Structures are given as structure tokens and as C-alpha cells.
A = this chain, B = another copy of it.
């Protein structure tokens, strides 16, 4: 099955073909489940005028935030941004555009992009600034707005384990937007903590089937924690009952 071996050895190969002005869809939520090495490679390449679709834009000096340092991002499509000073500065300067999209709509737009659904109706955002200029249609007496799919030239994805065929599983809440991102890219690149042989992942437990994936690279991850909150009390983890 040599034609299905998607493992590449270098970050250069992993991001080969990325060019100025392209759209990059990135998995991750905050700093959780982000393809750290692929983001670093985009910085290294110095590609400019990017549209980046990702729930957030990292923080100063880490995650997608590092692409702001050389003004590589022209436009950001996110549900929540501005966790870093540089982002705020570029936004206020007009050097950066932001398209704020509700989190669930963003996830569904990526999924739709991967699934060949060009548009769908949702109640989310109706009657708010998000709904302005969008088609409205009423179903069962309730108004909904039409939202269009998102696709990109590249998707960058962070997996826990990927096999050589590109089948991926994600760890805990590092799953988040990664499967949808994986489906919506013309070229989907997966950076995995571990690369395993085909057959090592249980077929029914695979989160992203390899058909969506073009390239797989093994990464080393810092996995920085954005908000470390620790409990000082003794607790059991079985229930939220009368704590």
C-alpha cells in the first residue's frame, strides 16, 4: 500500500506548496491541540497575506500568535481572538481583518466544507450583527440564517496518534476543531505525537479516516497550558452532587 504511505520526514515537505494569499484552516482550541511545528514552519517560510481559519489565534509568542510577528496573517476567521497584545495592535492599526464567527457555526462551516455541503441554515446569530446581510428563511415558524461552508488550500491538524495511511485519533479535548479542519483542506497535513503502523489503531475508534489526510509528520510538542487552574480540595471525580 505504498501509495497510501503519507508520512513525510521534514516540515519543508509537510508544508510544501503553501503560497502567499492562501487560506489555512487550523485545528485547536486556545493552545490545546494545535499543530505547533506546522505553525512554526509557516513562520519559517515567511508566507504572507494568509487567511487563517481557527477558533482562536494563539497568544503572544506561541501558537498562531507567532504568525502575527511578521504580519503573515491578513485575515482571521475565529470565534474568539485578542488573547495577545500584538493581535490587538494589528487589528486596531487595520493591518489585520477579523471575521468573527460563532463557535458552533465555525465548526459546522468547516464540517460542511469537508462534506460537500455548500451552505446550511442555523438559528445562531439571527437578529445579531452575525446575521446581517445573510439570507433568512423560516422553518416551523422560526427564522434561520444561511451560512456558507469554509474550505482552504491547506489544513493543519494536530493528532495524538496517526498511522501511515493518515488515520488519526486525538487525545481528550485536544480533539476540538481538528477533525473538521482535517476534512476541509485541499491539502491536509497532520502533525502527530506518535506515528504508528496501519492496524495499530482500532478501525472503529479512528476519529479522522485517512482519506482526508495528505501528509503526516511526527512532531515534538511543548503543549503549553494557557490557564492552569488547580483544585486545592479533595474531590472525587464521579459527580457534581452536593459538593
Binding site for B on A (CB under 8 A): 1, 108, 112, 115-123, 137, 139-140, 142, 144, 148, 169-172, 175, 202-205, 207, 238-239, 241
In the bound complex, do residue B123 and residue A121 qualify as a contact, i.e. CB atoms below 8 Å apart? no
In the bound complex, do residue B116 and residue A123 qualify as a contact, i.e. CB atoms below 8 Å apart? yes
CA distance A239 to B123 in the complex (A): 46
Q: A204-B171, A204-B175, A238-B1 are known contacts. Are A119 and B118 too (CB-CB below 8 A)?
A: no
Residue ID in chain B nearest A239 by CB atoms = B1
Given contacts A118-B140, A171-B204, 14 further A-B contacts (CB under 8 A): A1-B238, A108-B117, A116-B123, A117-B120, A117-B121, A118-B139, A119-B120, A119-B121, A119-B139, A139-B148, A170-B204, A172-B204, A202-B205, A204-B205
In the bound complex, do residue B118 and residue A121 qualify as a contact, i.e. CB atoms below 8 Å apart? yes
Q: Chain B residues with Cβ under 8 A from A115's Cβ?
A: 108
Residue ID in chain B nearest A117 by CB atoms = B120
Q: Chain B residues with Cβ under 8 A from A142's Cβ?
A: 118
A192 to chain B, nearest CB (A): 15
Residue ID in chain B nearest A142 by CB atoms = B118
CA distance A138 to B153 in the complex (A): 22
In the bound complex, do residue B120 and residue A241 qualify as a contact, i.e. CB atoms below 8 Å apart? no
- 10 pairs from A and B in contact (CB 8 Å cutoff): A1-B238, A116-B123, A117-B121, A118-B140, A118-B144, A120-B121, A139-B148, A170-B204, A172-B203, A172-B204
A25 to chain B, nearest CB (A): 17
Q: Chain B residues with Cβ under 8 A from A108's Cβ?
A: 115, 117
CA distance A184 to B116 in the complex (A): 21
Q: Chain B residues with Cβ under 8 A from A170's Cβ?
A: 204
Residue ID in chain B nearest A203 by CB atoms = B172
Q: Chain B residues with Cβ under 8 A from A205's Cβ?
A: 202, 204-205
In the bound complex, do residue B112 and residue A120 qualify as a contact, i.e. CB atoms below 8 Å apart? yes
Q: Chain B residues with Cβ under 8 A from A112's Cβ?
A: 120
CA distance A238 to B148 in the complex (A): 40
Residue ID in chain B nearest A202 by CB atoms = B205
Q: Chain B residues with Cβ under 8 A from A139's Cβ?
A: 118-119, 148
